């Protein structure tokens, strides 16, 4: 008993601070709830953050006039008002969002209008809570550091916990109960408050309201500089860590925790020291950036426990925002908590944040400005105040600091976000690191090369060249689109084409289309159809630059209306017409922006914009999501749309389709429409036959209803737990895609399985042709000529007929158009074989059979064309190269052919005029060597069947690789590669291609034994 009493005597002095920390945790959780509603309703734009900080600044200003008193009753009222407003805020938010419907969509293109609406909504939703919190912060009965510590810890720890088993509503009610109890304790208990001045203040300190005007102005300027630094830190955070609610709250929590810990710094710190500290922060950010990137990749590759992974990321984020919070707390206003000066400093902080975000500067420029400005101001203060170092220790310290800042300034180019975005968001990089690949080589492990980029402190878009003509578009590091700049040689991605194509085919007569997000492939899909209007909405700050860089991807007469507005605002505004199809082609569900597009509120806004038979099609990648998350998302969609459909577009991705049609989407009319010329042409650009989409796994409306649980709470701004669960689910290590696919297969079947028997038979016959073509390619690498016999066999064994309208003869039974086309192709091929002289025009007639796609023609036509182009008297290098690239990139994933790849390499190296520019030549060679690497890996894994020409293929491949690497070395400067970059890429290709081919050749030579010499 005595020991217990002694222990209580030891910890009793800490009771007041502990209660304040717990109260801060409860208040922080209430703020987390309210801000989550705002983020999901308004989108991820930085204007929301700016409006939130401004709201607190104005709340502090309001406290000057209305809340100057000091009493326990004021503290209690402030505590109790927080949970009351948390419960009432959804009503205010819904009313405020309704005001957006008074604006036309075109008016949202003005950034001033959008910020004005954002600020109004944030003020209406957050101002009372900000006032209450400011009152608490200014009360002497509240331990400010303990209170802020609790808020910061809640924002750091609780969001990731909400991603696990903790319900957000349960957590909110616990916080409400805790806040009410804190208010009661503040009034009745003597142990709740410290009743003492701030630990960093002295009895003789002077109020900040009485400080000299020059000192106050300097402090306000310093606060603006911290706002500028905060924008830099926020941008870096969004690039190196997945930008979701968990990372955002962790970043903000670390900032508040820094403010709390800053109270431990004495007020005697000089202004020059604070400016030097800010300069040191900027320099360390630059110098430690490569190390931080390495730690992020390493922890993602090695930490399997999800919560530990999020905590480790939070620790890295604290390096960015925690020091800014510490420096902000050193301001006299925040030491003494005088509302007047505090409000001015918060507003100055907001001003610095706005300047950084809205000036359009890049992160390297911003850091350079920060380093130069802070060091000059700090040095100037030392000179003006006569505080130059006098001892040799101080002089060495100042010189070292100057060297540090200078090094940071000179090395600002290493704040290149191209490196982390290719490593942090790449599963291949994690696997390579676990397999022992050096970190410095990870950036060049694939054939991606940065083509161009657009960046400011709000967002970053980068464009990476792959396979010569494939453009990977990254948005804040994540892959937003995989686009082909030349579909004649490199196919488009099926995952990018199918969402738009399905929407256009599913509607019986589509005229008006709305695309949510800048997506080039979807625009090209819309271009193939005779639409009356196409509208694109995206809130990216440099939409005009992106549109200008991609305008060559569609025809000049293709009219598209681009509106630069946040998606959440765009779907709430008034539109001039209803839309027959609304397409959401982006698949970033784990981000803050993506999570907001899967809420019930968002679906209701989309439904309001649809026409009577409108279709909404949303793309969702499930390869990182388990079945429970998919089920909750589909349940949310079903709660809004009367008819829903789930369609697997490609392995690992599904389309969530909501329709206002009363007729079922799956019908014979759909099959007819997908066989029209526009649809077949678009499918041919991804190397698909029209039968492939209608054989994908599908759940119709009845199957969806059967799969969903009877009672489920839709995901909404009110019930936002899914916004925290998705990032955690993405980080979890498990065979999630396999689990999801098994769960869906229990209730669904193929798309064609819902059709009548006659239509299913036609699809089955077409699929048989696809399988025959794949077997011919995979079983006979570099020797596909057996396809001719396959065509003749299908025409003889399975002749098809169709009743068709014949001019002047009425309805007649004729040979099926596809079979007639195959017959004509064989005849054209026969004429070429008999021709004594082959002309380019004759080969062009043969190439016409590539479109529309026929599985038994496909790449085989290009193989034939290449043989005949070699017989033409005039140069045909460009035509040969285009056909070779077509046979390479449009082939099956398991194709082991290498001779066509070697031929393409030789043409590019020996005939530079065959490719337009030197950087394009480098890209083509880089992609082809990567293809060789991939196909030889397949050959080495498939040891059962070895070609009798294996030795010759090895020699050809080795010679082609060496020639390609020599040419790439000459072209590297034209492609924008530095000497070190090319050395790294060259080393990787030599190690993984050339050296392995040489080892394979040595192994082959050992298998051949020379006969003994004759005597």
Give the pLDDT confidence score for residue 67 in this predicted structure: 60
Neighbours of 857 (CB within 10 A): 22
Q: How big is the CA angle at 575 (ends 572 and 576), to the nearest 5 degrees?
A: 170
Give the pLDDT confidence score for residue 234 in this predicted structure: 93
**If you average pLDDT over each of 136-150, 295-309, 545-559, which comes out highest?**
295-309
Return all residues near 224 (Cβ < 8 A) that are at least 6 apart.
348, 349, 351, 352, 355
Global pTM exceeds 0.85: yes
d(CA 725, CA 746): 24
Tell me which of 56-70, 197-211, 426-440, 650-664 is least confident.
Answer: 197-211
Helix or strand (DSSP H, E) at 835: none
Tell me which of 394-408, 956-970, 995-1009 is least confident.
Answer: 995-1009
CA 771 to chain centre: 35
Strands 533-537, 512-516: pairing is: parallel
d(CA 62, CA 48): 21
Helix or strand (DSSP H, E) at 514: strand 512-516
Q: Which residues pair with 668 in a beta bridge?
A: none
pLDDT at 846 over 60: yes
Dihedral sign from CA coordinates of 780, 785, 789, 792: positive
What confidence tier does 208 reach under pLDDT thresholds 50, 70, 90?
Answer: very low
Per DSSP, 445 falls in state S
pLDDT at 393 over 80: no
Give the pLDDT confidence score for residue 762 in this predicted structure: 78
| Percent of the chain clearing pLDDT 90 (strictly above) | 42
**Cα dihedral 518→524→528→529 (10° resolution):** 0
Model confidence over 745-763: pLDDT tens digits? 999 888 888 887 766 777 8
d(CA 219, CA 211): 11
Give the pLDDT confidence score for residue 199 in this predicted structure: 40
Give the pLDDT confidence score for residue 460 in this predicted structure: 92
CA proximity to 146, closest of 326, 312, 39, 22: 22
Tell me how long the chain is.
Answer: 1015
d(CA 377, CA 357): 22
Model confidence over 157-173: pLDDT tens digits? 898 888 776 777 888 88
Buried b (16+ CB within 10 A) or exposed e, 269-307: eebbbbbbbbbbbbbebbeebbebbbbbbebbbebeebe
Give the pLDDT confidence score for residue 37 in this predicted structure: 92
Return all residues near 254 (Cβ < 8 A) that are at least 6 apart.
152, 156, 314, 317, 318, 320, 321, 322, 325
Model confidence over 911-930: pLDDT tens digits? 999 998 999 999 999 999 99
CA proximity to 48, closest of 476, 603, 571, 539: 539
| Percent of the chain clearing pLDDT 70 (strictly above) | 90
246: tokens are 């968990």
What confidence tier does 64 reach under pLDDT thresholds 50, 70, 90?
Answer: low
d(CA 364, CA 415): 6
- Stretch 813-826: mean pLDDT, rounded? 83
pLDDT at 16 over 70: no
Give the pLDDT confidence score for residue 211 in this predicted structure: 47
What confidence tier does 549 reach under pLDDT thresholds 50, 70, 90?
Answer: confident
Q: Which residues pair with 644 in a beta bridge?
A: 658
Give the pLDDT confidence score for residue 8 in this predicted structure: 46
What does each C-alpha distance from 98 to 50, 365, 594 come to in angstroms? Answer: 22, 40, 22
434: tokens are 């676990």
Residue 885 · residue 904 · CB < 8 Å = yes
- Stretch 390-417: mean pLDDT, rounded? 86
Model confidence over 507-542: pLDDT tens digits? 989 999 999 999 999 999 999 999 999 999 998 888
Q: What is the mean pLDDT of the chain?
A: 85
Model confidence over 26-38: pLDDT tens digits? 999 999 999 999 9
The string of DSSP letters for 909-978 reads: HH-GGGSSSHHHHHHHHHHHHHHHHHHHHHHHH--SS--TTHHHHHHHHHHHHHHHHHHHHHHTTTTT--
Model confidence over 657-695: pLDDT tens digits? 999 988 888 888 898 899 999 999 999 999 999 989 988
What confidence tier does 340 reach under pLDDT thresholds 50, 70, 90?
Answer: low
CA proximity to 624, closest of 472, 726, 714, 497: 726
pLDDT at 799 over 90: no
Give the pLDDT confidence score for residue 333 in this predicted structure: 47
Give the pLDDT confidence score for residue 806 in this predicted structure: 54
Give the pLDDT confidence score for residue 6 in this predicted structure: 60
- Stretch 991-1014: mean pLDDT, rounded? 79
**Cα dihedral 34→322→221→279 (10° resolution):** -150
Model confidence over 220-271: pLDDT tens digits? 888 999 999 999 999 999 999 888 999 999 999 999 999 888 877 776 677 8
């Amino acid at each position: 008993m005595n020991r217990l009493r002694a222990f209580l005597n030891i910890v009793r002095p800490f009771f007041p601070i502990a209660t304040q920390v717990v109260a801060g945790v409860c208040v922080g959780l209430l703020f987390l709830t309210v801000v989550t509603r705002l983020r999901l309703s308004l989108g991820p734009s930085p204007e929301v953050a700016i409006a939130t900080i401004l709201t607190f600044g104005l709340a502090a200003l309001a406290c000057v006039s209305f809340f100057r008193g000091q009493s326990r009753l004021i503290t209690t009222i402030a505590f109790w008002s927080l949970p009351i407003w948390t419960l009432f805020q959804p009503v205010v938010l819904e009313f405020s969002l309704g005001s957006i419907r008074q604006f036309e969509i075109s008016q949202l293109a003005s950034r001033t209008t959008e910020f004005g609406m954002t600020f109004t909504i944030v003020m209406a939703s957050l101002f009372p809570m900000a006032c209450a919190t400011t009152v608490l912060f200014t009360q002497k009965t509240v331990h400010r550091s303990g209170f802020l510590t609790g808020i910061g810890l809640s924002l750091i720890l609780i969001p990731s916990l909400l991603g696990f088993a903790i319900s957000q509503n349960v957590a909110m009610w616990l916080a409400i109960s805790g806040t009410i109890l804190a208010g009661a304790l503040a009034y009745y208990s003597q142990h709740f408050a410290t009743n003492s001045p701030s630990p960093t203040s002295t009895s003789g300190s002077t109020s900040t309201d009485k400080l000299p005007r020059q000192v106050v102005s300097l402090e306000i300027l310093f606060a603006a500089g911290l706002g500028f630094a905060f924008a830099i830190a926020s941008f870096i955070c969004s690039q190196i860590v997945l930008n979701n609610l968990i990372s955002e709250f962790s970043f903000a929590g670390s900032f508040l925790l820094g403010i709390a810990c800053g109270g431990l710094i004495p007020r005697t710190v000089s202004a020059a020291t604070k400016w030097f500290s800010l300069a040191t922060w900027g320099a360390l950010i630059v110098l430690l950036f490569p190390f931080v990137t390495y730690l992020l990749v390493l922890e993602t590759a090695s930490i399997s426990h999800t919560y530990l992974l999020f905590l480790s990321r939070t620790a890295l984020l604290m390096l960015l925002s925690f020091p800014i919070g510490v420096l902000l707390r050193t301001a006299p206003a925040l030491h003494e908590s005088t509302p007047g000066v505090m409000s001015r400093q918060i507003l100055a902080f907001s001003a610095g944040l706005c300047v950084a975000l809205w000036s359009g500067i890049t992160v390297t420029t911003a850091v350079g400005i920060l380093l130069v400005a802070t060091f000059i101001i700090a040095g100037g203060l030392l000179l003006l105040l006569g505080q130059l170092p006098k001892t040799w220790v101080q002089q060495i310290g100042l010189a070292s600091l100057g060297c540090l800042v200078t090094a940071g300034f000179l090395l600002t180019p290493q704040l290149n976000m191209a490196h982390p975005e290719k490593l942090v968001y790449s599963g291949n990089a994690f696997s390579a690191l676990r397999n022992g690949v050096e970190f410095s080589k990870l950036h060049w492990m694939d054939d991606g090369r940065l083509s161009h980029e657009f960046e400011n402190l709000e967002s970053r878009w980068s464009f990476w060249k792959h396979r010569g003509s494939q453009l990977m578009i990254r948005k804040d590091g994540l892959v937003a689109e995989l686009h082909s700049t030349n579909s004649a040689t490199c196919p488009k991605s099926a995952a990018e084409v199918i969402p738009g194509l399905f929407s256009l085919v599913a509607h019986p007569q589509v005229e008006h289309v709305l695309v949510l997000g800048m997506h080039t492939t979807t625009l090209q899909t819309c271009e193939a159809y005779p639409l009356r209007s196409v509208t694109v909405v995206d809130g990216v700050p440099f939409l005009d630059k992106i549109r200008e860089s991609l305008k060559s991807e569609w025809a000049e007469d293709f009219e598209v209306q681009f509106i630069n507005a946040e998606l959440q605002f765009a779907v709430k505004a008034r539109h001039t017409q209803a839309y027959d199809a609304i397409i959401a082609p982006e698949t970033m569900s784990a981000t803050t922006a993506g999570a907001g597009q899967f809420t019930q509120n968002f679906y209701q806004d989309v439904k309001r914009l649809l026409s009577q038979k409108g279709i909404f099609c949303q793309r969702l990648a499930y390869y990182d999501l388990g079945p429970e998350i998919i089920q909750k998302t589909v349940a949310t969609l079903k709660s809004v749309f009367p008819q829903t459909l789930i369609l697997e577009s490609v392995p690992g991705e599904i389309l969530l389709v909501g329709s206002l049609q009363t007729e079922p989407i799956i019908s014979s009319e759909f099959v007819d429409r997908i066989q029209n010329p526009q649809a077949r042409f678009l499918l041919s650009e991804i190397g698909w036959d029209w039968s492939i989409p209608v054989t994908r796994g599908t759940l119709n409306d009845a199957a969806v209803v059967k799969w969903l649980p009877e009672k489920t709470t839709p995901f909404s701004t009110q019930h936002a737990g899914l916004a925290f669960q998705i990032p955690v689910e993405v980080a979890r290590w498990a065979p999630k895609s396999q689990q999801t696919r098994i769960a869906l297969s229990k209730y669904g079947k193929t798309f064609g399985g819902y059709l009548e028997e006659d239509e299913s038979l036609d699809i089955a016959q077409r699929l048989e042709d696809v399988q025959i073509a794949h077997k011919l390619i995979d079983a006979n690498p570099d020797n596909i000529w057996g396809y001719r016999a396959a065509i003749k066999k299908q025409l003889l064994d399975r002749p098809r007929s169709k009743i068709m309208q014949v001019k002047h003869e009425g309805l007649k039974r004729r040979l099926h158009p596809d079979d007639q086309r195959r017959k004509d192709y064989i005849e054209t091929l026969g004429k070429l074989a008999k021709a004594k002289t082959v002309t380019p025009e004759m080969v062009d007639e043969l190439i016409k059979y590539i479109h529309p796609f026929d599985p038994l023609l496909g790449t085989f036509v290009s193989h034939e064309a290449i043989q005949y182009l070699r017989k033409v008297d005039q140069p045909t290098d460009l035509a040969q190269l285009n056909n070779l690239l077509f046979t390479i990139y449009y082939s099956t994933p398991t194709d082991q052919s290498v001779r066509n790849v070697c031929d393409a390499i030789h043409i590019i190296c020996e005939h530079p005029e065959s490719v337009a520019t030197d950087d394009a030549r480098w890209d083509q060679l880089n992609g082809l060597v990567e293809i060789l690497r991939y196909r030889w890996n397949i050959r080495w894994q498939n040891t059962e069947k070895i070609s009798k020409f294996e030795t010759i293929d090895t020699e050809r491949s080795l010679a082609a690789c060496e020639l390609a690497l020599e040419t790439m070395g000459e072209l590297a400067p034209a492609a924008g590669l530095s000497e070190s970059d090319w050395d790294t890429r060259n080393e990787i290709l030599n190690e993984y291609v050339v050296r392995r081919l040489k080892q394979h050749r040595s192994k082959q030579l050992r298998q051949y034994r020379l006969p003994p010499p004759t005597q």
